[in-house]
Amino acid sequence: MNRIVERFAQLKRRGQKGVVVYIGAGDPNLEATRRLALAFDQSGVDVLELGVPFSDPLADGLVNQLAAQRGLESGTTPPKVLDTVAAIRGESQIPIVLYIYFNLLHRRGLERFIADAKRAGVDGLLILDLPPEESDNYEDLMRAAELCPIYLVAPTTPEERIGLIVKRGGGFIYYVSREGVTGMQTQVSDTIGLMTAKIRAHTSLPIAVGFGISNPEQAKTAAASADAVVVGSAVVNRIAEMGRAPEMVARVADFVRTLVNGVKAEHPA
């Protein structure tokens, strides 16, 4: 079974909510990415999202844009990200999603990239700029490889389009709780409950809520209406602050553990 599907099934059996953490691959370097992944696994993270650096990350706010830039400057490429995933797989079975822009797959060749991702140990792809209406060939290749095509639903998505999107997705549905780009916020959106209910009317897939969740309290609040929460910019910002300091991995993992503990304590098994 796909690791993402298996993890959410485990969470459901336990009556627990999940924690998804995003980081930019190669920030500050790929060895740090490998070490962070292993530390997050030990900290109880349920799914790791690795942002593949791209020169025009249009869905990302400043924090994640800068992480992508640092990743590019450290020499990170899609094949090297897959090599890092393979290295992680030598020590961990944490579910891994690549957060990626379509041009990177197109440049490599869609069929070849998906086959390489499967071989490396990737479990799902979240392509930020591929509309579901244009994804038939992509979805066929993903299904053949038993990888999850993860799609986004936004607060502005009309209900009839929600139905179209979610029936094509796999693993989980990523609900973007705010309009605009990624980034830290001072409070969570007050429409999460309403929108997750709308999404659930169309699918039995788990719903993960992200964009703007920055601390344990916000994570608890978002988890009340969803199956999982996604925290990205707040983690990436701490990586940026620590840089190449020897204690960076441990310090960032400590912060991530507060998120995990908050969500799991609020929604225990």
- The CATH number of the domain holding residue 38 is 3.20.20.70
Instruction: Please give the structure tokens belonging to residue 226.
Output: 């969803």
Dump pLDDT digits (tens) for 99-120: 999 999 999 999 999 999 999 9
pLDDT tier, 189 (very low <50, low <70, confident <90, very high otherwise): low
Other Cβ atoms within 10 Å of 18 Cβ, number: 28
Dump pLDDT digits (tens) for 41-85: 999 999 999 999 999 988 788 899 999 999 999 999 999 999 999
Q: Is 206:46 a contact under the CB 8 Å cutoff?
A: no
Q: Is 145:115 a contact under the CB 8 Å cutoff?
A: yes
Residue 188 has pLDDT above 70, yes or no: no
Residue 171 lies in a domain: yes
Residue 3 has pLDDT above 90, yes or no: yes
In terms of DSSP bridges, do strands 148-149 and 152-153 run parallel, antiparallel, or are they unpaired? unpaired
Instruction: Please give the structure tokens belonging to residue 56.
Output: 């025009």
60 carries an active-site annotation: yes
Residue 268 lies in a domain: no
Dump pLDDT digits (tens) for 229-240: 999 999 999 999
Least confident residue range of 88-97, 177-186, 232-241? 177-186
Residue 156 lies in a domain: yes
Dump pLDDT digits (tens) for 151-180: 999 999 998 999 999 999 999 999 997 544
**Catalytic residue from among 41, 49, 116, 123:** 49
User: Using omega within 30 degrees of 0 as the cis cutoff, is the peptide bond preceding 246 cis?
Assistant: no
Structure confidence at residue 186 (pLDDT): 45
The identity of residue 89, as a single letter, is R
49 carries an active-site annotation: yes
Q: State the DSSP string of 74-129.
A: TT--HHHHHHHHHHHHTT----EEEEE-HHHHHHH-HHHHHHHHHHHT--EEEETT
Residue 230 lies in a domain: yes
pLDDT tier, 267 (very low <50, low <70, confident <90, very high otherwise): low
**Catalytic residue from among 46, 60, 116, 123:** 60
Residue with tokens 């994640």: 64
Residue 33 has pLDDT above 90, yes or no: yes
Residue with tokens 């999202």: 49
What integer best gives the mean pLDDT of the chain? Answer: 92
Structure confidence at residue 181 (pLDDT): 43
- How many domains is the chain partitioned into structurally? 1
Residue with tokens 């959410």: 8
Structure confidence at residue 29 (pLDDT): 98
**Domain span at 84:** 3-262
Residue 98 lies in a domain: yes
Residue 267 lies in a domain: no
Q: Is 200:31 a contact under the CB 8 Å cutoff?
A: no
